[in-house]
Each structure stands twice: as structure tokens, then as C-alpha cells.
Amino acid sequence: MQNSRAHILSAKLLAGLWFFSIISMVPGVARCDSVEFRTITLAYDVFIGGILVGSTDITLHAEAAGYRITSKERSHGFLDFLIAFRGRNEVHGIIMDGRPKPKAYNARGTWSGEVRTVAIQYGDDNRLRYQAFPNAENDQREPVPEHLLPGTTDPLSALYSAMTWASRSPRCDRREAVFDGRRRYDIILQELPGGATKGPFFTGAARVCRARREMLAGASLRRWLPQFARPEWTNIWIATVRPDIPALPVRFQADLGIADMVGHLVAIGGRKHPPGGKDLDAAAGSNRQTDEHSK
């Protein structure tokens, strides 16, 4: 029983950390119709109850012809003791009709020593080819029907599209069809009333978007990994941190049921301190602030 509870707790935390890492990879660094290119590196730390549980470092290169997003994420502290999660994701693609269109998406991660990989290639005919290791059968996961795949995009490109849309629109409301190599789901973004946020890198006014994931196929069949292991929602605070760059996600908060997981932007242009280093006290204090959107 104790081992089962540890698995469920780990699954909840990993699902939250994974969703944070995906969302934080899609800052509104460059409008899709812009002829100016920009490369930017962002760092985020993730906390539960003021305790560091994960970190994500993202590099985005965007220009008129295309884009590339890479990330590295890992667990820390007690979560690292439970699952020792390490991950790397990368996508590159082109800009077509003002929207990102992926050409190739690759993901590699380890969870408790188990290696998991996904590779997706996108063709010009709106179809895709993919490989996932382990496959659906060996992963104890329901298969995704082929008819649900055409017209989908990878999670990074989907959220990059959604966030660039939000940067040009008074509301972030949007739905994106996603296939990540294992699961087929829609990401639904909804505009919430804005408000102030406090963090180690940014404090001030921000707009708020709520992201939900609607699962369509590919759910796990493992009895110890219930559906509620996935966050029901994640709120994203978006703010202008500096006048020379567009608005960025500065804070995230996900409802894990057992607790809220909170992520903060901690650096632009590369880390100057290790995760949870100099800014740990400030970040932990900001996690305890009252948030009307978490109710």
C-alpha cells in the first residue's frame, strides 16, 4: 500500500512537472508574422509548499522562416529521490499562414531509470509518422486510433501557437489538437481576470490564462496510475518583464489535488545560480501568497 501511494504521488508530481515544462517552452518571444529573429533562454523553478521539486531550462529561436524550441528538465529534492526524472524535448518547424507548423519533434526522458522516447516526423500531406518507446502495448496504454492523428501538432508547437495568438489578441481563448507520440488530447486555453503576481524574478500586473487538457485517446491502463494523476488545470501568468522583449510566462500554478504546484521564471539569458539557489527564499515566499484563481 505504501509503495502504491508513493507511485501515485510520484505520478501526480511528474505529470505536473511535465505539463509545466511543456507550457514554459512557449513564451511569446516572437510574433509569427515578424521578420525579426530572436533567440532567448529562459529558466523556471518548480515548487510544492516552498520546496524545490523541479527545474526547466528552455531555448527558443524564432525567425520569419521557422522556429526551434529545446528544453531540459529534471526533478529535484524528494521528487528526485522518488523518480529521478530527466527529460529533453526538441521541435523545429516552419511558419505557414502565421502559424507554427512542426517538421520534427523528439522527446527523451528517464523516470526511475526507465528510458522513454518519442520521435514524430510531419509530412506535407497533413499526416505524420511516429515511433514511441515503449510502445502502447508495452506501456500498458490504450492505442491512439489513426483517424485521430491527421491535423494534430506536437505539444510544444501547439502551445507556441496558442501563446503567440494570446500576444496578439485581447483574450487567450483557444483550442489546439495535440498528439505527443503517446496521447491524443486537446489543449484548451481560457482567459481569466488578470491580477498581480509576486515572484523571485518578476512582481507586478499580469494577465492570466487557464490551460486544460481534454484527453481523447492514449490513456494509461495501469491501475496505480489513475486519471486524476494529471493536473485538472494549470494557470499561466503572462507579463511584460522587460520593454525590449514581448510578454513571457512568469508564473504557473497547477492543481494536483494533493497540493498546488507552482513554477516561477527565475532567469532570462541563462541561469546565474543553480536551481533553488539564491532566489529560493523569495520563490518559496511567493508560493504562499493567496491566489483567487486557485479556488
Q: Which of 72-86, 119-133, 162-176 has the highest mean pLDDT?
A: 119-133
The whole-number average pLDDT for the span 252-262 is 80
Q: What pLDDT is recorded for position 155?
A: 87
94 Ramachandran zone, left/alpha/beta (phi>0; psi -120 to 50): beta
The whole-number average pLDDT for the span 223-248 is 73
What is the phi/psi pair of residue 247, to 5°?
Answer: -60, 145
Domain-embedded: residue 295 = no
What mean pLDDT is reported for the chain? Answer: 80
Q: What pLDDT is recorded for position 278?
A: 59
Peptide bond before 134: cis, by omega within 30 degrees of 0?
yes
Q: What pLDDT is recorded for position 20?
A: 57
Q: What is the domain count for the chain?
A: 1
Q: Which domain range does residue 82 map to?
A: 2-289
Domain-embedded: residue 95 = yes
Q: What pLDDT is recorded for position 292?
A: 53
Q: Which of 18, 65, 24 is nearest to 41 (CA)?
A: 24
Domain-embedded: residue 132 = yes
Q: Which of 8-12, 213-217, 284-288 has the highest mean pLDDT?
A: 213-217
Domain-embedded: residue 294 = no
Q: Where are the alpha helices (DSSP H) in 216-279?
A: none
Domain-embedded: residue 93 = yes
- The per-residue pLDDT for range 185-230, each reduced to its tens digit, is 998 989 999 888 988 889 999 999 898 889 999 988 875 544 445 5
Of the CA atoms within 13 Å of residue 204, those in its CB half-sphere come to 11
Amino acid, res. 259 = A
Radius of gyration, CA atoms only, the chain: 18
Q: What pLDDT is recorded for position 171?
A: 86
Of the CA atoms within 13 Å of residue 138, those in its CB half-sphere come to 7
pTM: 0.83
Q: Are 104 and 89 in contact (CB under 8 A)?
A: no
Question: In the chain, pLDDT over 90 holds for what percent of residues?
Answer: 36
Which has more pLDDT, 285 or 144?
Answer: 144
- The per-residue pLDDT for range 93-114, each reduced to its tens digit, is 998 887 889 999 999 999 888 9
